[in-house]
Amino acid sequence: MKQNSKSDALYQKAVELIPGGVSRNTVFHRPYPHYAAKASGCYVTDVDGTERIDFANNMASLIHGHAHPAIIEAVTEQLHRGSAYTLATEAEVALAELLINRAESFEKIRFVNSGTEAVMAMIKASRAFTGKPKIAKAEGAYHGTYDFAEISQTANPFSWGDINSPNSVPLASGTPDCVLENVIIFPYNDIARTIAILDAHADELACVILDPVPHRIGLLQGTNKFVEAIYKWTRKNNVLLAFDEVVTFRVNYGGAQEKYKVKPDLTALGKIIGGGFPVGALTGRADVMSVLDPSQSKLLFPHSGTFSANPITMTAGRVAMELFDQKAVDDLNALTKKAIIQIENAIRLADVPISITGAGSMFRIHFRLSPPQSYREAYQRPAVAAIIGELLDYLFYKENLIMINTCACMFSTALTQKEVDRLSDAMLNGFRFIKPQLDELYSQHAIFP
């Protein structure tokens, strides 16, 4: 890090204007965050002139990397016609048709402005349709910043309680008790415990929310047996099965849900479907989605939004998703698989206790010999988190790579084998750099098998 750098100077100004100097904590860094100047494809250049390879892609939202020419051309053309109106647009209809044709469970769709808004709408639609107040979600799962959705996303050994009945743990200070009482927490991929927990609240649950490959839980795939068991339980108890595919829609052409025999009633979407612009969407069964229909004699869920379905986002999203066709999905997943194989080889060469989880075009690195099977196994204890921070800083400053702060990568179609080779070589160097600390932790049993 350079003292008196442009990033440092910008941050000194920012802290006088913005709490902590940032508007999203994911870009915060000590002693100062770095500021982007420009980006193209899979490369980002900061205001100090350093160019880095981007394996984070704005938290998985840029499926084609930065400044894709086709998206720029389409958006520029739309900008000349206007960026938002108090009228509907053809662009909304075009993206809606494209997305509905990608997944069997998508019958109707409505657009919002973020993944958080999409999950919020999904919860409210579930309540409106079922007439029941509570939701159930997995311990550790991230579903945005809505009060109800964020419960227990950062539960820790001091707060999470008995695995047979996990505590509902608030994220933000001052969260009302009534929120905690209306969110039921279950252990992901644990069928027996989850069904027992759901049974105790069956008459009050509006929906069970599942992320099919939850990043914060450990980027573990929901097993077929687990998802099918939850689906059967929801059929029996008049509860909706709600998927959060804000991140995971990139996994297959029709999203991560494509791999399951059963389908959700509702799905929240976001990130890649906006083509690099703010976006979210709620989609699912036509009868459930009808709670949003203003032409109904009794509107159960009034909903609007000033920038929802704005033509800039709709245009960018349509072009991005047209480009992300079946071949593009398959090619990107294959490249990601190659990257994982190469990093696994680096793990063996460096002789470090590290494992990898993931699906499709995303993966996460864990400091343990075998991949975690639950949130509690994936939880990063302070000593481990500190070494992860050292590795990420090494990769950022010494190897000029950008990764997500959980030690995860979300690939874009702009990446090639050239960048994958750089990643695996950098990882090998990074693993060797942190090996002494890892060996010490392992000897103290601070890293588990």
Q: Is the dihedral of CA 223, 228, 233, 239 positive or negative?
A: positive
- Position 7, amino acid: S
Q: What's the pLDDT score for residue 19?
A: 96
CA dist., res. 345 & res. 337, Å (int): 12
Is 271 designated active site? yes
Q: What's the pLDDT score for residue 2?
A: 60
In the predicted model, is pLDDT for residue 445 greater than 80?
A: no
Q: 35-63+325-443 sits in which CATH class? A: alpha beta
Listed as own residue / partner, the contacts of 351-354 with beta carbons closer than 8 Å and 24 or more positions apart are: 351/435, 352/431, 352/434, 352/435, 352/438, 353/438, 353/442, 353/447, 354/431, 354/438
- State CA 376 to chain mean position distance: 19
Neighbours of 18 (CB within 10 A): 11
Q: Both tokens of residue 92?
A: 């909304």
Q: Work out the average pLDDT over 178-206.
A: 98
Q: What's the pLDDT score for residue 124?
A: 98
Which DSSP symbol is given to 415?
Answer: -
In the predicted model, is pLDDT for residue 449 greater than 60?
A: no
Q: Which of 244, 263, 265, 375 does the annotation list as catalytic?
A: 244
Neighbours of 176 (CB within 10 A): 10
pLDDT tens per residue across span 317-337: 999 999 999 999 999 999 999
- CA end-to-end span of the chain, whole Å? 35
Is 142 designated active site? yes
pLDDT tens per residue across span 99-157: 999 999 999 999 999 999 999 999 999 999 999 999 999 999 999 999 999 999 999 99
Report percent pLDDT > 70 for the chain. Answer: 98
In the predicted model, is pLDDT for residue 446 greater than 90?
A: no
Domain ranges of the chain: 35-63+325-443, 69-323
pLDDT tens per residue across span 18-72: 999 999 998 999 899 999 999 999 999 999 999 999 999 999 999 999 999 999 9
**pLDDT level of residue 232 (50, 70, 90 thresholds):** very high
Q: What's the pLDDT score for residue 444?
A: 77
Q: What's the pLDDT score for residue 3?
A: 62
Q: Which of 124, 132, 137, 271 does the annotation list as catalytic?
A: 271
Q: Work out the average pLDDT over 245-266.
A: 98
Q: Work out the average pLDDT over 200-223.
A: 98
Place of tokens 């100004």: 13
In the predicted model, is pLDDT for residue 270 greater than 70?
A: yes
Q: Identify the bridge partners of residue 366 per DSSP, sorted by sequence position.
A: 355
Q: Please count the CA atoms within 13 angstroms of the CA of 373 that sit on its side-chain side.
A: 8
- Least reliable range by pLDDT among 25-34, 263-272, 389-398: 25-34
Q: Which CATH architecture has domain 69-323?
A: 3-Layer(aba) Sandwich (3.40)
CA dist., res. 66 & res. 414, Å (int): 8
In the predicted model, is pLDDT for residue 218 greater than 90?
A: yes
In the predicted model, is pLDDT for residue 350 greater than 90?
A: yes
Rounded mean pLDDT of the chain?
A: 96
**pLDDT level of residue 442 (50, 70, 90 thresholds):** confident
Neighbours of 299 (CB within 10 A): 14
Q: What's the pLDDT score for residue 413?
A: 98
The answer to whether the CB of 343 falls within 8 A of the CB of 356 is yes
Q: Which of 11, 142, 375, 394 does the annotation list as catalytic?
A: 142
